Structure 1
């Protein structure tokens, strides 16, 4: 017996859809659709504590697109999870009502720890098991999640550092755009990253040193910039020198130069330099020589939670 399930993940910077068909007898999962839109829902949330009207409009427009896909594929169940930006907003009624009106489901605001566990399950499902612990790093727009485990997650930490949050705090102008990045801005971002990582390192069991796996748009975009293509990034290994080189290129570029890099989506142009700084900070703090990139993450883990024991193969490999 099979069932079609649609899962939506709405973060600070992007909203993603995964539609799958689950076989209840075998646990196999077949991917039917995977889409992503950058909506910047968390625009200004760190400063105002409220969703900006234009951010809600972008998010609802993406939800309407997803609703068409879900309807066409006749998904029987829909689940919608919201993460960092939504956790930071006290007044969510308009957001909740809009999502329910368009998709027919009330968003589930998940904790940072739950986000980490789902990301771990999704990220590690298709990678070789290895013989030691693995640390999954999920750099989001509003928060960064760490989760460590072997066959399953055993410990996790969620930190309030993310590419959108820190870019708006230290690098952006009044419109939210990031053009030329000053050394002072970089130093301020690195200072916040260092403080947060100091907290994380005391709360995670890091001996023996775990293999590092990176998920989310920041990590996959950094890999795509390094390789010059978005294709084939799943399973790619980025050395720390690769991350330094890409990060330096992004920081030294102005906004127009970053926008001209074809693998960077328009909605990431302002925040991807901070994503690079977070990744480099983590690798330096851990002494990690490389990171394995995974195109799978929270949505794939969510599908597993809904009943599939296998993780679908991403499209575009």
Structure 2
């Protein structure tokens, strides 16, 4: 896993570069700037390689340092703290809580007081973990709920004042890029194009990739739609009870998502005809359905992360779940009451993706944005460390003459 350049967008798709957001280090958790750090202190660290970590051994001091990634989504608040370990990293702490930040957002356009209070409680836990772990560099991002809410910026400022966490509202493009960085290594082997998708709470990102010159795939095209499990559930409401009403609602969900994906589907149609297409999904939807496919009595990340499942089986499970009542879904292992309502919207989104990208197999990833952030931070810090060491060597050689 060598040092590598970031995946970029193909000019054929009309993209000329990345939309990088500026804040990398949460101000309260980064170490004081050193004399050689002036070029990078206080702003975004420019990385030679935000993919996997370089092959060469890291500096001993760096191996002891902790890095953190916080992802505040529409439905979940997730934190990952890790240390470099050879070419990868070792997780030393983690946190995940369903906060439903985007609850009611589709109707009101604002984050509700109750949703913000739930989220603040989770972020206080994250802030405590960051302080206890003495995190060297952290990046905290917020996605669709804060992008859409009219009071999103005010909430971000409240979080900064009360917890010290500087959340960065990232673009949908940056969200897609980080998801690819975090999970692309789980793609099936092959030479054909692939779609990596992330079904979130407030949006879904699809990224078309092709094998690149190095280990990081080449991003050809991408699409983000404002339909995730929360936003789709809140928007496509029930029209009664019973099997017919459930079928009608599911059909309306499917049409809503199909319409949103239509333009992207046209752009990638020629790629979808390749005989070696591959598909990889990262989200609670695909990991939950994979758990049902394995008939797990309770969720087991080790069994799910990296699993390859027949796409037809995932479609069958989606269809079956859509016909069940919420109480029936709530009794199923790995779903429970927390996911019983939202999983149907996830199934509708997944089936739409399977329609536009008919791969025989679906890869399942229990990793994504946070892992992408960690790899970016560690690779950028490694590059900065190498620069500082080069400066010191040059200075020492000059003094020795």
Smaller-chain TM-score bracket? 0.7 to 0.9
The residue number in structure 1 matching 2:308 is: 237
Among 347, 354, 357, which residue is 1:286 paired with?
357
* 3-state SS of paired residue (2:366): coil
Change (3 A) 1:38 1:75: same
Change (3 A) 1:28 1:186: closer
Change (3 A) 1:249 1:194: same
Q: How does 1:88-167 map to 2 (within 5 A)?
A: 88-127=148-187, 129-149=189-209, 150=211, 151-154=216-219, 155-167=221-233
Contact 1:133 1:148 in 2 (8 A): yes
The residue number in structure 1 matching 2:375 is: 304
Which has the higher mean CA deviation after the structures are superposed, 120-129 or 248-257?
Answer: 120-129
- In structure 2, distance between residues paired with 1:189 and 1:242: 20
Deviation per CA, 1:87-106: give whole Å up to 9, x if none.
11122244213321344122
The residue number in structure 2 matching 1:258 is: 329
Among 271, 277, 285, which residue is 2:342 paired with?
271
Does residue 1:219 correspond to 2:294, yes or no? no
Does residue 1:206 correspond to 2:271, yes or no? yes
Does residue 1:16 correspond to 2:87, yes or no? no
- In structure 2, distance between residues paired with 1:179 and 1:14: 30
Change (3 A) 1:244 1:116: same
The runs of at least 4 aligned residues of structure 1 exceeding 4 Å deviation read 126-129, 178-181
Deviation per CA, 1:111-139: give whole Å up to 9, x if none.
11111111011111355553232210111
- In structure 1, distance between residues paired with 2:305 and 2:107: 35
Does residue 1:62 correspond to 2:122, yes or no? yes
Change (3 A) 1:121 1:129: farther
The residue number in structure 2 matching 1:81 is: 141
- In structure 2, distance between residues paired with 1:6 and 1:113: 21
- In structure 2, distance between residues paired with 1:298 and 1:219: 15
Cα distance, 1:192 vs structure 2: 0.8
Change (3 A) 1:126 1:29: farther
Contact 1:16 1:37 in 2 (8 A): yes
- In structure 2, distance between residues paired with 1:179 and 1:121: 43
Aligned residue pairs: how many? 303
* 3-state SS of paired residue (1:40): coil
Does residue 1:168 correspond to 2:168, yes or no? no
Cα distance, 1:27 vs structure 2: 5.0
Cα distance, 1:158 vs structure 2: 0.8
Among 28, 38, 43, which residue is 2:98 paired with?
38
- In structure 2, distance between residues paired with 1:233 and 1:199: 32
Q: CA RMSD in A?
A: 2.3
Please, what TM-score do these two structures have when normalized by structure 2?
0.70
Contact 2:290 2:364 in 1 (8 A): yes
- In structure 1, distance between residues paired with 2:203 and 2:348: 14
The residue number in structure 1 matching 2:89 is: 29
Please, what TM-score do these two structures have when normalized by structure 1?
0.88
- In structure 1, distance between residues paired with 2:370 and 2:242: 32
Contact 1:11 1:41 in 2 (8 A): yes
